[in-house]
Structure 1
């Protein structure tokens, strides 16, 4: 996928997050501050570097579980039609 595909996904990211919030608020909390780093093939890479700008831990890493990632993947597919694998930096 090209940088255009990443730009398109970024443009739809708030809609993806809104869909995730409707499904699972904890999953939404786990991903709302993620930064979309790259989209290579069907692999979406997320990072939370900006989370350190706040005092204390803010990336919710401890609550991100496989079922939350699965819900995010499902919401991405519902919104964009793309079946992606999500990985973290």
Structure 2
């Protein structure tokens, strides 16, 4: 697992990557019912990919995309900052 954490630290240094950790200590949150990914195409069309046990689905329904965009904002607000996240990973693998 140390190698995986080191890889995350290296990846977090890239200019197009923003890594944030959402600690278990924050309790229940807006993504506990399943994973989702917000997607944006080159021409600014927005889509949503959701995963549930045994299936995945893509939708471009504006209401669904907006709901998950709000969920993502809430998650970002709960998560550690990118700097705090990097510090926590580094401490976890003993690189502080």
TM above 0.5: no
The TM-score with structure 2 as length reference comes to 0.30
Larger radius of gyration: 2
The TM-score with structure 1 as length reference comes to 0.31
